């Protein structure tokens, strides 16, 4: 199923939820079509795919990296990426800071949390985040800005499970906001919700949904 971009935007409008159009695996021409309808924020999950798309597409696109990032790949996206939503370790955050400094930039980041009740590969646990935020080394990072959290819900028909996972992420965001990021205006994003669960995510307080197949069609079929 596909939904016209404008209809999705109408649905997001009342709650001011931002749309990240996830264009992974989709060709330049199809991305341009969505761009021409006014969309400016796009998400890609693989560095090798993101870089050539950045080079070929209009420069006012804000690219969000949403997939697991390897340390040796950070340097390729550091010059231009608008946000890295998939920061899943202290190690990668330090490398982002280092590469951002080289480019004389501050890179906006989200902390990817393990929220799925099923075993998920990437993401911080709550304890890991707390330990990192308290570490002196963390305070020494001046070229990253933590803007919030991101989570990927379990792929399931069980809406109550998805609801629990998203509500847990919202609670953890609120905790961080009131402790480590009190008074920091830029700490405001909860990136949750994809094609199959964005309505539940919005109901649970998402500020940013990452939608691919509803906009571009299923991947692997053209
Ligand atoms: C692919 C992807 C999406 C979009 O998935 P759809 O189900 O196509 O909407 C969102 N977030 C992440 C992290 C992804 O990898």
* Residue 222 falls inside a structural domain: no
The answer to whether the beta carbons of residues 35 and 63 sit under 8 Å apart is: no
What is the residue with the minimal CA distance to atom 10 of ligand 1? 210
The DSSP output letter for 210 is E
Q: Dihedral angle at the C-alpha atoms of 40, 144, 90, 44, nearest 10 degrees?
A: 10
* Residue 9 falls inside a structural domain: yes
Quote the mean pLDDT of the chain. Answer: 96
What is the number of domains present in the chain? 1
* Residue 206 falls inside a structural domain: yes
* CA 132 – CA 141 distance, rounded (Å): 12
* Residue 220 falls inside a structural domain: no
Report the CATH number that the domain containing residue 115 is assigned in CATH.
3.20.20.10
- Domain span at residue 142? 5-214
Backbone angles phi, psi at 14, to 5 degrees: -55, -30
Please tell me the pTM assigned to this model: 0.97
Confidence label for 222 from pLDDT (cuts 50, 70 and 90)? very low
* Residue 219 falls inside a structural domain: no
64 pocket-lining for ligand 1 (C-beta < 6 Å): no
* CA 102 – CA 11 distance, rounded (Å): 40
* Residue 221 falls inside a structural domain: no
What SS3 class is residue 173? helix
Residue-wise pLDDT tens digits, 204-213: 999 999 999 9
Residue-wise pLDDT tens digits, 142-160: 999 999 999 999 999 999 9
Residue-wise pLDDT tens digits, 104-127: 999 999 999 999 887 778 999 999
45 pocket-lining for ligand 1 (C-beta < 6 Å): yes
Closest CA to 180 of 123, 135, 124: 135
211 pocket-lining for ligand 1 (C-beta < 6 Å): yes
What SS3 class is residue 65? strand
């Amino acid at each position: 199923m596909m939904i016209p971009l404008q209809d999705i935007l109408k649905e997001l409008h009342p709650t001011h939820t931002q749309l990240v159009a996830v264009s992974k695996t989709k060709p330049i021409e199809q991305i341009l079509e969505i761009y021409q309808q006014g969309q400016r924020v796009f998400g890609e999950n693989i560095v090798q795919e993101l870089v050539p798309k950045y080079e070929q597409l209009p420069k006012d696109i804000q690219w969000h990296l949403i997939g697991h990032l390897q340390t040796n790949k950070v340097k390729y996206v550091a010059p231009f990426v608008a946000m890295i939503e998939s920061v899943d370790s202290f190690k990668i955050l330090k490398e982002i800071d280092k590469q951002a400094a080289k480019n004389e930039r501050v890179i906006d980041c989200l902390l990817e949390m393990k929220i799925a009740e099923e075993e998920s590969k990437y993401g911080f646990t709550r304890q890991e985040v707390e330990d990192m935020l308290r570490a002196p080394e963390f305070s020494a990072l001046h070229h990253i800005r933590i803007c919030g959290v991101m989570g990927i819900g379990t792929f399931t028909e069980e809406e109550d499970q998805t609801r629990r996972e998203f509500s847990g992420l919202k609670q953890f965001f609120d905790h961080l906001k009131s402790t480590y990021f009190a008074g920091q205006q830029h700490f405001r994003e909860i990136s949750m919700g994809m094609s199959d669960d964005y309505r539940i995510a919005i109901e649970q307080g998402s500020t940013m949904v990452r939608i691919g197949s509803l906009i571009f069609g299923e991947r692997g079929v053209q």
